[in-house]
Structure 1
Amino acid sequence: MLRVAVIGSGPSGCYTAQSLVQLDARVRVDVLDRLPCPYGLVRYGVAPDHEKIKSLQHTLRGVLEHERVRFLGGVQVGPGGVPVARLRELYHAVVYCVGAATDRRLGIPGEDLPGSWSATEFVSWYSAHPDAVDDGFLRGVRSAVVIGVGNVAVDVTRMLARGAAELSPTDMPHAALTALGASEVTTIHMVGRRGPSQARFTTKELRELGTLPDTGLVVDPAEAASDPAYTDPAALPAPQRRNVEVLRGWAGAPAPDARRLIRLRFFLRPVELTAREGRVGAVRFERTVPDGRGGVTGTGTYEEVEAQLVLRSVGYRGVPLEGLPFDAAGGTVPHLAGRVLRGGAVAPGEYVAGWIKRGPTGVIGTNRPCAKETVTSLLRDAPLFAERDLPGDPLAALRADGVEPVGWTGWQAIEHAEARLGASLGRTTVKLPDWESLLAAARTTGP
């Protein structure tokens, strides 16, 4: 028997567990997660109105229900929880699939003003992440600025424009649904510092913005035309070409008479968030132009955009995990084909997969080959540590240490509680939004 701990139950963690049990019948896997709920960003990052993507939970469920896989939720690894060194005592090998846990910052004056948030904080709120804060995101907001032109930026822009009737069928927590339904936002600016051909959103996500009820969309053709590829996109790779074609179809159309308006802006670099009445009131941008090398340069021309809410969506970063080496420049753990490197040397028994391994790149499916590479390395190394004696069942040892994980039946109890909550509100499943209610539900016995 080879006992392996996988830290993180998102796609990278589940694909790692799946590869382990598929490739070696001796392996027993414990999937540990800080949260009492599995699935990581599939549960807490995918927008609630994207039901097809969220259905990936069914695939991940099949992994966690495998007879040689065990889900242990509510287990903190690192400071305040189970030390990394203790995990190495309890398991033959440990694979860290902890993702990229923080957002990149803009590094400009005013970024910490009230009303300025990372997009992830906003997503966590409407996704019922138990660590989320409800600080009145939409209170008094008429104009919002989303900085970034990737899929997360599109998600939060779309959610700001959605109405209660469209969101009620989702599993969004009731407080967020009520707040978004009562929102007085009339204008949403989604702003990129480069041009349309360099935007990172996918065409499918982009097109959704043009189908929102009672919401108009505006693209300034003169602004977009600063991008040479905008005028003639024929030479672009297919994904970028399709984006440009969609934007060209919208450009120049008169602003429709709609309740809300989305403005897609390009070649504007944020330089300062300015305060009004003690909170963010506007974003000051510098106009940019292409520099001929794939980047942009400032022109010295500035524009101010009113905003009582600013959401930055400019990427993610991994954070150090106590007891593991860390590459601060890349925000990753140094590795060789998934093997953790300490001082440049392989540390047998310690591995990484997912964003903490390769950085915040790729889509959900990218985690599958990434996990397989790491598992292949682990199984090749197994003769180095498989014969090491362990102190019995790791779960019993964790409980002896005062850790009481939420097992699979606890997670099923949470699911039942969320279904009951939805029914009581005249909706479908509604997520429990806080630690107290999640843990209380997990301790119940059955539906």
Structure 2
Amino acid sequence: MRLCLQPSLEVSMLSSESQPLKTTQPWMMIVMVLAVFLCYLTISAPLAVIPIFVHDSLNINNFGVGVAVGIHFLATVLTRPYAGRLSDNVSSKRATLQGILALLVTAVFYYLATVLSFGTTVSFILLLVGRICHGYAESLLISGHIAWGLSLFGQQQAGRLLSLTGMAIFGALAVGAPIGLTLFNHFGFSSLVILLLLMPVLAFALYFPIHAVKVHKGAPLALKQVMAYVWKYGLILALQGVGFACIGTFIVLYFKAQGWLYSEFALASFGVAFVLVRIFAGHSTDHYSGYWIAGISLLVELLGLSVIFIAPNAQLAIVGTFLTGMGCSLVYPALGVELIKQAPVQVRGTAMSVYSAFQDISYAVCAPLFGLIALQFNYATTFMLAACCVAFGWILNWRMARHV
């Protein structure tokens, strides 16, 4: 199937290649989603802690905080093409399990950087290496997981797969942030390292019994061709991701600067809202226009970021993060389903990797860039700029929807 699909083919691709495999069992999707949840606990738990560790323990400024957070996503972006090719051309199961092994390597570098005393510079470098490993692991894990799941369950359940996977990821964020801060405050970073070692082992045990799938044969497409096909969806996704990038990087420091308590609940409320929307509205991506769903979601995210910007107290700021989580919840699967409808089956892993990479680029760029802005102005300004980015994303989505 060529890249330049005709409109009639874009609407429906219910070929035999897009149907569930006969050997697929219903329990497999639940097990895979649970495994993703465990893996993403290793990402979400340190997310709330690393800005505090870098800023307070290593005495590095906001730009350094942004680099420490953003380099994870930069590594994810740079390894997406490799992860997609590995998933499409070799084995999506191998890519997933290889990502889990990389999580274990990450834990070793975090231990060296945070538990052992090597001095500020060496500790920061070791932490950055660990963050790079973490990004590489995430790239392999999610690319392999999605390509594996699409082959197992077929296009008809693509929306459900993406929604449940996102629910697992941000569900991990909801519980990971308070868990990470609690462990760090009471037992230090070493307790997080134990978590980072235990969760991947459990995830590996869940993934391993599920059978691998055959690689789809087809004419390979150059990354440039895939990029030309995906970029419009990806750009909207990147603009949507600015909101989460700001919350994930600066909400804890923002609460601390304002003298507010309960910063862990700000991150948790984002994750809870994200999961609730996925639970009650996740199925909508299989039944309604992805552009329509994305448009409403972006407006809700815009409202949430605006509330954080003007919030006079912690309670209203937490409401803002809750609204932002609601808005972020369905953008990825809504536009992802529209993309999958058109993607040639032999490059779905690569297409979804490139699509996901736009969100990673957003995280990688915004964390250090907004760190510089916070140095010059304040944390509230970063949330105002994030709201502007989301507004631009809504405009692009509206223009795309008009031409469908």
- TM-score, normalised to structure 1, is 0.22
> Over alpha carbons, which structure has the higher Rg?
1
The structure carrying a bigger strand percent of its residues is 1
The structure carrying a bigger helix percent of its residues is 2
> Structure with the greater relative contact order (CA < 8 A, sep ≥ 6): 1 or 2?
2
- TM-score, normalised to structure 2, is 0.24
